[in-house]
Amino acid sequence: MKKLPIFLLIIIFLLCSCAEKRITKQTFSFDTVINITADKSDEKKISEALTKCQKFEKIFSRTNPESELYKVNCGAKELKNEHLSHVINFGIEMSRLTDGAFDITIAPLSDVWNIKERTAPPGKSEIEQALKNVGYEKISFSPFNLNNTKIDLGALAKGYIADRLREEFVKSGCENAIIDLGGNIALIGEYTVGIRDPESPEKIFATIKLKDKSAVTSGSYQRYFEYNGNRYHHIIDPRTGYPTSNSIASVTVISPLSMHADALSTAIFVMGEAGLKLLKSFPDTDALILFENGEILTSDGFKEKYDLKLKNN
Ligand code: AMP
Ligand code: MG
């Protein structure tokens, strides 16, 4: 058998058996590296998909003043954009389902924590002030009003975009594609996917074979700063106002829909083992929790469905 080349991705590595027929193109969007791989004959479609990523950024970015979400967060009284409306509605559904452990109104806390630029945690009073403006129940719809909260779609927008791009490739008859939005992977065809080792993110700790699925990992190693020997990462528990601290290193969710996998990996990261019960509401969706001590917990049926190969086996 041919030796399989490795695609180095942000969170997940892929091994594919016919790389010589493939082409990968890259762009930077949503503050992350986007890689799209497909057959060489689909090169034009890859370029179109990368252009679409830039368009989606102008819808979902929380920080770009030209974006639709930015305008909503600044007080726009209507949800005019149908993509934005769809993702916000699903985000609210997830916030309800998780009783607020996942909450799309986390933005006031995301602003205060500003993980990308901070080198020390914010003060207690800043966190308490921000917490007062967090809560999906604050949003009203008729008429639409955020009532002092703000929306952050960082936990699910990439998944939604990956689904839309995948849909375009499928519609155009494409049979092989790897859509990688900073580790949010959506596949057309069968590939071996590697899950990063949170302790040494340049290495993989396990691989799984997936066909036509999406795989998304949320991990405390992805965005963080360290202060006085503590790690402060980007996934915040809306119940405390602090980065979650529950001995989980990463959560990988596999689902036919990337938006589901994306939202669920973040939600389960916050909720821990109790979050696995969420999977019942999503068809054909499974999860793997990797704890800081190296223990692995998988959802019921994961092991029967997927042949998880640990790297040290
Ligand atoms: P992910 O990397 O998909 O797990 O998403 C993390 C991103 O989602 C963060 O960078 C924030 O933008 C946002 N986020 C952080 N904590 C939460 C939370 N508890 N609920 C919803 N979104 C969150
Ligand atoms: Mg997510």
**pLDDT (tens digit per residue) in 140-164:** 998 999 999 999 999 999 999 999 9
CA of 276 to the centre of ligand 2 (A): 15
User: Is 252 close to ligand 1, i.e. is its CB under 6 Å away?
Assistant: no
Render pLDDT for 162-189 as a digit per residue (tens, 0 to 9).
999 999 999 999 999 999 998 899 999 9
User: Is 102 close to ligand 1, i.e. is its CB under 6 Å away?
Assistant: yes
Look up the pTM and report it.
0.94
User: Distance between CA 190 and CA 175 in Å, rounded?
Assistant: 10
How far from 180 is each of 25, 35, 39, 84, 262, CA to CA, in Å?
10, 5, 15, 21, 12
- Shortest-distance atom of ligand 1 to CA 158: 3
User: Is 103 close to ligand 1, i.e. is its CB under 6 Å away?
Assistant: yes
User: Distance between CA 3 and CA 305 in Å, rounded?
Assistant: 25
Number of H helices and E strands in the chain, helices first, is 8, 19
Q: What are phi and psi of 303, to 5 degrees?
A: -70, -30
Give me the pLDDT at residue 312, please: 72
pLDDT digit of tens for each residue in the chain (313 aa)?
333 333 333 344 555 556 668 999 999 988 889 999 999 999 999 999 999 999 999 999 999 999 999 999 999 999 999 999 999 999 999 999 999 999 999 999 999 999 999 999 999 999 999 999 999 999 999 899 999 999 999 999 999 999 999 999 999 999 999 999 988 999 999 999 999 988 888 889 999 999 999 999 999 888 989 999 999 999 999 999 999 999 999 999 999 999 999 999 999 999 999 999 999 999 999 999 999 999 999 999 899 999 999 987 4
User: Is 238 close to ligand 1, i.e. is its CB under 6 Å away?
Assistant: yes
User: Is 155 close to ligand 1, i.e. is its CB under 6 Å away?
Assistant: yes
- Tell me if residue 222 falls in helix, strand or coil: coil
- Tell me if residue 306 falls in helix, strand or coil: coil
Number of Cβ within 10 Å of residue 175's Cβ equals: 11
Ligand 1 atom 19, closest CA: 102
User: Is 218 close to ligand 1, i.e. is its CB under 6 Å away?
Assistant: yes
- Probe residue for ligand 1, chosen from 185, 234, 245 as the CB with the greatest number of ligand atoms within 8 Å: 234
- Probe residue for ligand 1, chosen from 232, 233, 266, 290 as the CB with the greatest number of ligand atoms within 8 Å: 266
User: Distance between CA 253 and CA 287 in Å, rounded?
Assistant: 4
Using CA atoms of 63, 141, 109, 115 in order, give the dihedral in degrees to the nearest 10. Answer: -30
For residue 250, the ligand closest to its alpha carbon is: 1
- Tell me if residue 276 falls in helix, strand or coil: helix
268-301: burial string, b at 16+ Cβ within 10 Å, e else: bbbbbeebbebbeebeebbbbbbbeeeeeebbee
- Shortest-distance atom of ligand 1 to CA 218: 4
Report all structural domains of the chain as residue ranges with CATH numbers, in order of start.
10-310 (3.10.520.10)
Query: Tokens in use for 33?
Result: 């590296």
Burial (Cβ within 10 Å: 0-12, 13-18, ≥19) of residue 200: exposed
**What are the beta bridge partners of residue 298?**
288
- Probe residue for ligand 1, chosen from 62, 235, 250 as the CB with the greatest number of ligand atoms within 8 Å: 235
Beta strand 200-211 with 309-310: parallel, antiparallel or unpaired? antiparallel
CA of 15 to the centre of ligand 1 (A): 28
Nearest C-alpha neighbor of 287 from the set 234, 183, 214? 214
Give me the pLDDT at residue 19, please: 61
215-245: burial string, b at 16+ Cβ within 10 Å, e else: bbbbbbbbebbeeeeeebbbbbbbeebbbbe
CA of 1 to the centre of ligand 2 (A): 36
